[in-house]
Structure 1
Amino acid sequence: MPTILLVDDDALTAMGSADLIEDLGHTVLTAHSGKEALAIAAERPDLDLVVTDQSMPGMSGVELAKALRAERPALPVILATGYGAAPDGESLPTLPKPYDQAQLAEAIRSALAR
């Protein structure tokens, strides 16, 4: 069972998305900021995937992905964004917000298959 770190500064969005991930049979950990996500990632070598919101105060999803890749280059990161694609120059897989469980399941399956 994969362990997924979900990062979203909006508590209601995080709770709903965590429920969707758990319903798919995955273990989910939740962080509400990039800083909190980095602390969790440092303590959890068993993380298989990170799903992060792009637009967060203090640290964007892209900035979080760069920080995670500096420590764990093989850790897949999905960028959930309401803005369409990842910012120019970024090759992160994106998940358009709002998303449903089928879209989330496909994004997770694809990211874990890489």
Structure 2
Amino acid sequence: MSLQPTILVVEDDFLIRTCLIEFLEDSDVRVLEADNCETARRLIHSDEPLDVVIMDISLPDGNGAELGQESKECRPELPIIYTTGHGITIGNQSSLDRVMTKPYQLDAILSVVQELVPAG
């Protein structure tokens, strides 16, 4: 891979977040992390390059689906992979978005990332 994609992982569960980040970094992906909406919002609205967001829907300070919609206002082409353990559906989903139910396989997440991020 010539260019390393940058992924923002938004997940409040420490173990899930840590395992996912370690797996992605081992797969030659640059990872930014947030454990709540406030931190994620700050990164999304920054000048930080982002290729994909992996966003938990249930966060301690807000709703990941709503934050995803807000993200589209400033970054309309940003793909979002929503993760949920509650079987929730996302309204207004773009063709760039996916929903994955927990527990998910780490390699399945990576496959979706590779599908959404064109190779360098």
Give the 5 Å matches for 1:36-55: 36-55=39-58
Q: CA RMSD in A?
A: 1.5
Which residue number in structure 2 is paired with residue 60 of structure 1? 63
- Contact 1:95–1:107 under 8 Å retained in 2: no
Instruction: Kindly provide the amino acid, as one letter, of the partner of residue 63 in structure 1.
Output: E
Instruction: Kindly provide the amino acid, as one letter, of the partner of residue 62 in structure 1.
Output: A
Q: CA deviation at 1:85?
A: 5.0
The gaps in structure 1 that reach 5 residues or longer are: none
Which residue number in structure 1 is paired with residue 83 of structure 2? 80
Aligned residues: 112
**Quick check: 1:110 aligned with 2:118?**
no
Please report the TM-score for the alignment, with normalisation by the length of structure 2.
0.84
Q: CA deviation at 1:109?
A: 1.5
Please report the TM-score for the alignment, with normalisation by the length of structure 1.
0.88
Answer 1 or 2: higher relative contact order, Cα 8 Å, separation at least 6: 2
Which residue number in structure 2 is paired with residue 28 of structure 1? 31
Aligned-partner Cα distance in 2 for 1:95–1:111:
14
After superposition, give the CA deviation of every residue in 1:73-95 in whole Å (9 maximum; x if it has no partner). Answer: 111111011123523x3424112
Aligned-partner Cα distance in 2 for 1:106–1:16:
16
Instruction: Kindly provide the amino acid, as one letter, of the partner of residue 5 in structure 2.
Output: P
Which residue number in structure 1 is paired with residue 6 of structure 2? 3
- In proportion to residue count, which structure has more helix? 1
